[in-house]
Amino acid sequence: MRILSVVGARPQFVKLAPIAAAMKGRADHVIAHTGQHYDELMSDVFFRDLGIPAPDFNLGVGSGKHGAQTGAMLHGLEQILEESAPDCVLVYGDTNSTLAAAIAAVKMHIPVAHLEAGLRSFNRRMPEEHNRVLTDHSSDLLLAPTEVAVQHLANEGLGSRTVLVGDVMTDVLFKVRDMLDRTNEPLAVNAEPGGYYVCTIHRPDNTDSPDRLAAILGTLGSLDKPVILLAHPRLVHLAEKHGFSLEQGSLRVASPLAYPQLVNAVRNSAGVITDSGGLQKEAFLLRTPCTTIRPETEWVETVELGWNVLVSEDLGILADTVKRPAPEATDAAPYGDGKASERTVEALLDAFA
Ligand code: UD1
């Protein structure tokens, strides 16, 4: 059976790594990269470090407004689907690349499977929320990471297409963590273990408005330890456009990290401050306290278990929140056992072979 994976943005490369490994010897796996992310540190480094085969196709669409970017992908993917004639298309997560691939496939009557189905923030301001809802309702097989996601899909009448496989990010994270345990890698950030926070900020709601971005940067700069800001190109561009310096007070700007280096930086930090979905969960899996600069999260288990606290409008509480006492230890495993990619391949073969 031929399965075409479509990816395009950084978090999708991380999810592709364990899937590509689990496909070996089980299916003819073809990879298409839309080119949504194209910088060396946003794309190539993940393929190299995580041992992902080079994409069979690369559309090179690059950045753009939502309609132009998604439309260019849709146009290009139609040609790739004609040429590669897959038995099913596997789409990942909630980016514009996910939605474009789902629409391209469904219009050509090719079965679509959505990995990381059923997540909801219920915040319709987020582009990811539109992408998730539209992709789930276009897909034939919904591969859910958590019980909560299964419930959301059932509530929307999609229960009969849903399979709970677990979270493939757990698979890759555990593998990298175990590798770090064996190799004793030095820290890629310029700080002492336990003496810094890891920070990422990139969401439109936090970066597009100059007032909001200035308030966030000012608050981060006032924290009690160095804040290593792994600056997404979107943040760098917007800070330049608004005329802000990212280096203020405790803030130390650094480039985005390769995945193993990120995992090492997080597990040696005093805490994570982020608006990324994946990083909230990675922090939890490494049992590093996280503070999320958003009004809500899809990964509600991290909050319920006490390892993640949301801070949104009232940035005045951020400093005390990041300094809060360590959460209660837990052996809860809401994100699976590290074998989600094997279950995913099994579910694909069951559904479409
Ligand atoms: C995208 C996803 C988001 C995901 C994030 C992970 C959508 C709608 N958003 O957001 O869900 O959390 O990826 O990082 O699909 N840029 C570069 N080089 C790159 C990539 C981006 O310079 O390699 C800059 C460009 O100025 C671009 C901006 O970053 O306009 C935003 O990139 P884009 O892919 O549109 O969205 P992200 O913010 O990365």
**Per-residue pLDDT tens over the stretch 54-100:** 999 999 999 999 999 999 999 999 999 999 999 999 999 999 999 99
Give Cα 135 distance to the centre of its chain.
16
**Per-residue pLDDT tens over the stretch 286-339:** 999 999 999 999 999 999 999 999 999 999 999 999 999 989 999 999 999 999
**Ligand 1 in contact with 63 (CB < 6 A)?**
yes
- Amino acid identity for residue 44 in this structure: D
**Per-residue pLDDT tens over the stretch 186-211:** 999 999 999 999 999 999 999 999 99
Asked if residue 205 and residue 131 are part of one domain, the reply reads no
- Give the number of the atom of ligand 1 that is nearest the alpha carbon of residue 43: 23
Predicted local distance difference test score (pLDDT) of residue 213? 96
**Ligand 1 in contact with 127 (CB < 6 A)?**
yes
CATH number, residue 51: 3.40.50.2000
327 within a domain of the structure (yes/no): no
Asked if residue 199 and residue 73 are part of one domain, the reply reads no
> What residues make up the domain containing 229?
176-322
151 within a domain of the structure (yes/no): yes
Asked if residue 198 and residue 131 are part of one domain, the reply reads no
| Closest residue to atom 3 of ligand 1, CA basis | 95
Structural domain total, the chain:
2
What distance, in Å, lies between the first and last C-alpha atoms of the chain? 6
CB 40 within 8 A of CB 11: no
Asked if residue 163 and residue 33 are part of one domain, the reply reads yes
74: tokens are 């849709």
CB count within 10 Å of CB 182 equals 7
113 within a domain of the structure (yes/no): yes
Asked if residue 117 and residue 151 are part of one domain, the reply reads yes
- The arithmetic mean of pLDDT across residues 43-63, rounded, is 97
For the chain, the average pLDDT equals: 97
Predicted local distance difference test score (pLDDT) of residue 251? 98
DSSP string, 313-342: S-GGGHHHHHTSPPPPP----TT-SS-HHH
- Is 152 designated active site? no
* 142 three-class SS: strand
Asked if residue 41 and residue 79 are part of one domain, the reply reads yes
Q: What is the rounded (10 degree) CA torsion for 99, 101, 107, 110?
A: -130
> pLDDT > 70: what percent of the chain?
100
The residue annotated as part of the active site, out of 29, 33, 202, 232, is 202
pTM given for the model: 0.97
In angstroms, what is the span from residue 320 Cα to ligand 1's centroid?
Answer: 30
In angstroms, what is the span from residue 350 Cα to ligand 1's centroid?
Answer: 34
